[in-house]
A and B are shown apart, each in its own frame.
Chain A
Amino acid sequence: MGPLAAMIVREAKIRATNFTFLFFDLFYPLLYLLVFGVGINAAMGSPALAGGVGYNAFFLAGVLGMASIGIATNSSWSFFLDRDNGIFVEMLTYPMRRSEYLLGKVLFNLAVAVGQAALTLALGAALLRIPVRWERLPLLAAVIVGGVAGWFFFFSVFALRIRRNDIFNSVINILYFALMFASSLFYPLAPLPAWFRAAALANPLTWEVDLLRYASIGLGAPRQLGWEAGAFAFFTGAGFLAAVRSLREQG
């Protein structure tokens, strides 16, 4: 077994020690959609948004984007767990590349994210009658994988460079707030003020959610989605290189 496979098995074994957490991870976006989505939809009088879709359908991509950030932060937070257990530095002496360490840490969680998205789509379609574009499932899976990986690399830079768990948590809370509300996650951007739209369009979460929305319900302009896909790929690549560099500077 190679080091990458060894890393995936390790992560899977650690996650398997906490089934409650794993179960919640799988159902958390669906629960968010059912509670928050249905509530807002009802409160706003079931409006038809851009493209004639209902709020539940619109919000589906939002909860998937939110869930990808959640999985990514949990995975990056595990660097603190490894550090507290003393195993972090020991693992840096194992015969594996720093990039394998990073990829191994996220690969098992990518599988969880894809499973989570499949459950959310299936039950969202069945319970809320969301018009899911099933033929675009492979694209959706690719966006989910890219999204979780991109955010994991981004948050790993903070987890590796910030030595204190409490400071990391504060930084993550601030980032969460800025990323989620200045994005297309909860609402369409078109009716918003120009400065807000500009900020949201510079936000990688907007790029990811727009791609998820296109892949799940077919909403979005192909030209804008093209540059958003390129920008998110760049964000993921840059995050990966920065995280590998941060890992190399540990010890």
Chain B
Amino acid sequence: MAAPVLEVENLVKVYERRGQPPVRALDGVSFAVPRGEIFGLLGPNGAGKTTLLKVLATLLRPSSGTARIEGCDVTVRPLEARRRIAMVLQETAGELLLSVRDNLLTFARFHGVAAAAARRRAAEVMEKFQIAAEAERKVQDLSGGMRRRVQVAKMFLADTAVLFLDEFSTGMDPILKRAVMGFLREEAARGRTIVLTTQILSEAEELCADILILNRGRQAARGDLNTLKLLSAGVADVALTFAALPPGVEAAVAALAPLRSRLDGNTVELSLKAEEARVLEIVAGLARMGRVLRVEVGGASLEDVFVELLRGR
């Protein structure tokens, strides 16, 4: 395994609140991420993901523990650590009074990119993110989605060792999101380490080589997708599309006590924890209720793992 670019050891962050009990947002979190890996940080709201990113980005001081980026302790040498990172915040951020091009060039200037290289890269990145036509427009005149594009696009202007993305796809249309995921894979292949948080588990499933699931500031699970899916061994995802939704199917599904279920038009989706033979029996039973157009049975998804791990938390 390559030397880790990001090392976190026993990180604790306690928020002291006047007149209220302290909140332990991070409670002994440890992990390491090698160069060129896309690392996913998952967890429900309030799990500590954003706090962790803020500590890594030197925005917050941890209560105890250490975090290092290419060997630079974020608490002891914050400036050195910041030279190695770029961050897309969860909230939309931009120089609203400046043009799209100036937004990109300003970011490049702060990261020490030479003027000629910055102009060339800005032109390339604007093409990539389909914002070249808006290059001279002020960001305040753009839609929310376009502002988000500019915010993410500028991260490609500087070659920082680590890129933090907090819910990067918020406000992006599916086509652009897919394209950006491709760009992120290219960056990782070039040796850039990417740490992302997301609530959209399919994104993590597609992008991340390694995933850490946080819950209440602690590690709930850690590993690659296959390892995590083993945590949900025996869970199957079933989807049946009927020609017309049969009467009573909703009650029949509820009676099966699935891990989760969803009715979408004429399609019934459910996750079941049962032996394979029993799953097939259930599918056959449901299929007898009406004319079935399509049946899908698959193994556990990351969402199943997530739900099962955090159930009853």
**Which A residues lie at the B interface, using CB under 8 A?**
1-3, 5-7, 9-10, 13-14, 17-18, 85-87, 89-97, 250-251
Interface size on B, residues (CB 8 A): 28
Q: A10-B106, A91-B110, A92-B59 are in contact. List 9 more A-B contacts (CB 8 A).
A: A2-B112, A10-B95, A17-B98, A17-B138, A87-B93, A87-B94, A89-B89, A90-B87, A94-B82
Q: Name the residue of chain A whose CB is nearest to the CB of B95.
A: A87
Q: Give the chain A neighbours of B58 by CB distance below 8 A.
A: 92-93
A165 CB → nearest B CB, Å: 16
Q: Which of B59, B106, B109 contacts A93 (CB 8 A)?
A: B59
Q: Which residue of A lies closest to B80 (CB)?
A: A95
Q: Say which residue of A9, A86, A96 sits within 8 Å of B92 (CB atoms).
A: A86
Chain B residues with Cβ below 8 Å from A251 are 54, 59-60
B257 near A: Cβ within 8 Å?
A: no
CB distance from B145 to the nearest CB of A (A): 15
Which residue of chain B lies nearest to A15 when distances are taken between CB atoms in the complex? B97
A-B contact pairs, 6 of them (CB 8 A): A10-B106, A14-B97, A94-B82, A94-B110, A95-B112, A96-B79
Please indicate which of the listed interface residues A6, A10, A13, A90 has the most CB atoms of chain B within 10 Å of its own CB.
Answer: A90
B interface SS class:
loop
Measuring CB to CB, which residues of chain B are less than 8 angstroms from any residue of chain A?
54, 57-60, 79, 82-83, 85-87, 89, 91-98, 102, 106, 109-112, 115, 138
A98, B113: Cα distance in complex, Å: 20
Cβ–Cβ < 8 Å partners of A96 in chain B? 79, 82, 110
For A1, list chain B residues within 8 Å (CB).
109, 112, 115
- Asked whether B112 lies within 8 Å of A14 as measured between CB atoms, the reply is no
A118 to B111, CA, bound (A): 35
Chain B residues whose C-beta falls within 8 Å of the C-beta of A7 in the assembled complex = 110
Lowest 9 CB-CB distances: which A-B pairs, in order? A251-B59, A86-B93, A6-B109, A95-B83, A94-B110, A90-B93, A95-B82, A93-B57, A93-B87
